[in-house]
Amino acid sequence: MLSETSSEEPVLEVGEFYQLLTAHLESSFGRRRPHWVRGEIAKVYEKGHVYVDLVDAGSASSDTKRPVLNAHCWATPWAPLKRRLADEGISLRVGMVVSFHGYVDVYAPQGKIGFSITEIDVEGLLGDVARRRQELIARLRGEGLLERNKSMVVAPVPLRVGLVASPGTEGCADFTGQLLNSRFSFQIVLVKTQVQGEAAPAQIVGALRALDDAGVDVICVVRGGGSKGDLACFDDERVARTIATSSTPVFTGIGHTGDESVADLVAHTRAITPTKLGEEIVELVALWYDVHVQRPAGRVVEAVTDVLDEASTYLAERRRTMIFAVRDRLRAEERHLLGTRERLVIQGRHVVESATRMLVSSRQLLAAYDPTRRLAQGWSIVTDAQGAVVKSLGGVHVGDEVHVLVSDGSFTSNVTQTKGSST
């Protein structure tokens, strides 16, 4: 209902005023005339719907006269927008500069004129996120933090492994599976953390510090694949700085092949997946094991074999040598005895021949003295009564009977006279 005042201007009821206002606003800023509005998020609140207070970028919060746009996005349009932002690793945060597409929305019961969001400039936000990420990397590089953890010396046998991960996730299982199914006895010290979401960075930082204090050989930060939003916590500056300044080497196995987080950049070693990280840890131990255990063991086996072969060869050779030496020695003795025997036979033959010659000579000599021959020559042999040969006058006396032997017989004679040859 319209009424008139003294100045003849129409007087509107409140509802009529809002209808008029809404009509005017909708004609220029309504659903069919949407606008892009750019500003800095001063407040953000989400409960099904999302409510955002947008101010001019760079304006001071102390400025009580700075313009504020009360923007909101109802749950129905917000759900797909939120998913899209999350896929890119973006969440609406205070301080973020963002462009909203939407229209003016008048809520008469509270007398509020708001801005209903229908679209968000994700590409612009991505550019902003990328810029912030590059700025962070540049700062870390400037402070020498990209190389700091890489300069840490990894223990020769990293069997005590600190693990920052969310148990039950595929990435965690892939990583621990590599270690636990290896031939080495890894000790895994797990500190549970969320690996995505708002709370993740603080939890990851706490886990890294706890493991750094626990004296593990290496700390592994593990997270399976996911959207950029899922992995956004690994681009967090707090996480990056904690990794860089850790006194323990930090290895990362985050996401898929193509993902590279700031955490990866500052880490000592980066593997492209949790599985690959597990393989690399196992390989480190395997390399040490090969050099310090396997190869020496192989050399021991070879040396033992060589010693045994050498001893066997030695004994076989000594045995043969002994057999031949004894045989040679015995043959030498046999030859010596045979030679001696032959020499004895020859010498014996000489002795016999010599004796024979001596006997012949003696026989000839004896023949010269044969009495028969003397008797035949006219010699005789006189014997006394006792048969003794009378060789001189002393052997006979006058009157004795003597026997005279001649060549052809004998006769008996009486001694009648003796006479010496000198007389």
Partner 1 sequence: MSNVSDWNEASSELNAIVASFDEGEVSVDDLFVKLERATTIIEALEARLALTKAKVEELTPRIAKVTEGE
The footprint of partner 1 (CB under 8 A) covers 183, 286, 289-290, 293-294, 297-298, 300-301, 304, 308, 311-312, 314-315, 318-319, 321-322, 325-326, 328-330, 332-333
- CA 325 → CA 321, 322, 375, distances in Å? 6, 5, 75
Query: Nearest distance from residue 155's CB to partner 1, in Å?
Result: 21
- Least Å distance, CB 305 to partner 1, is 8
* Minimum distance from residue 293 beta carbon to partner 1 (Å): 6
Asked if residue 85 lies in contact with residue 91, where contact means CB atoms within 8 angstroms, the answer is: yes
12: DSSP letter: P
CB of 156 to partner 1, least distance (A): 18
Minimum CB–partner distance for residue 98 and partner 1 (Å): 57
What's the burial of 331, exposed, middle or buried (CB within 10 Å: 0-12/13-18/19+)? Answer: exposed
345 three-class SS: helix
Nearest distance from residue 333's CB to partner 1, in Å? Answer: 5
Q: Which is nearer to partner 1, 156 or 298 (CB)?
A: 298
Supply 42's token pair.
Answer: 């001063």
Question: Of 314 and 411, which CB lies nearer to partner 1 in the complex structure?
Answer: 314
Residue 74 vs 289, nearer CB to partner 1: 289
Alpha helices in 95-153 (DSSP H): 122-142, 145-148
Q: Name which of 238 and 319 has its Cβ closer to partner 1.
A: 319
Question: Closer CB to partner 1, residue 271 or residue 282?
Answer: 282
Cβ proximity to partner 1: between 68 and 322 the closer is: 322
In the complex, the smallest distance separating the C-beta of residue 343 from partner 1, rounded to whole angstroms, is 19
Cβ-based nearer residue to partner 1, 91 or 182: 182
Q: What is the CA radius of gyration of the chain?
A: 69
Which is closer to partner 1, CB of 233 or CB of 282? 282
C-alpha–C-alpha distance, residues 402 and 385, integer Å: 6
Q: Which residues contact 119 (CB under 8 A, 6 or more apart)?
A: 81, 100, 101, 102
Closest distance of CB 340 from partner 1, Å: 13
For residues 100 and 114, the answer to whether their CB atoms sit within 8 Å is no
Angle at 372 between CA 355 and CA 374, to 5 degrees: 100
**E strand or H helix that includes residue 413:** strand 409-414
Question: Helices (H), strands (E): how many in the chain?
Answer: 11, 15
- The closest of 389, 418, 391 to 403, measured between CA atoms, is 389
